[in-house]
Each structure stands twice: as structure tokens, then as C-alpha cells.
Amino acid sequence: MDKNITYRGHLKKNPDSQVRFLISDDYLMGYISDGTEEYIIEPAHFFDRQSPENHFIVYRNADLIDSRDHPECPFLDAPHRTTRAYHTGC
């Protein structure tokens, strides 16, 4: 049985920040907010099934696009996304 480990904290010298991580034997996911920007950390294979499991994507939440606005982009059909996906230039 996989054991999930969660971390919660903040950035040093920034009490308005938030840091969250979820770690298991199979993956790592995270969220960092410095009070101004929000960053997401996800396994790259969420977006490209051929990516090695030890590769990750880090992106700003503000860089997400609404896939309903870009139905022509096949990348926006990532299996875990429903209405928003990482912007790939489509």
C-alpha cells in the first residue's frame, strides 16, 4: 500500500506564502505561493505519457488556459484536466 506524505509550510522570511507537497512512492505534486504568484509542480507524464516518471513540470498558475477556449489543441485533452491545461502554444 502506498503511503502518502504531505508537507505544509511557507517560504523563509515570507509569512504570506504557502507551500504544499504531496509525496508518495509513485509521484510528487506541489504548490507554492509567494503571496503574489502561484506555482504548480506536477509529474511530466500527466501531460506527456512518454515522459519519464522522474521528470516534472513547474508552471505558474496564471499560465494556464481554459481548454474550452481552444478546442483545436489536442494537448488540452490531458487525462487529468477537464477545463484548464498547461499552455503549450496551441
Instruction: Taking residues 36-45, report their average pLDDT.
Output: 91
Cell readout for 87 is 499552455
Task: Indicate the burial class of 85 (C-beta count within 10 angstroms; 0-12, 13-18, 19 or more).
Answer: buried
Tell me the whole-structure pTM to 2 decimals.
Answer: 0.67
Q: Which domain holds residue 30?
A: 5-86
The kind and range of the H/E element at 86 are: strand 84-86
Q: How many domains does the chain have?
A: 1
What are the CA-CA distances from residue 77 to residues 3, 15, 27, 29 (Å)? 29, 37, 21, 20
Q: Could you tell me the pLDDT band of residue 15, with boundaries at 50, 70 and 90?
A: very high
Q: What is the pLDDT of residue 14?
A: 95
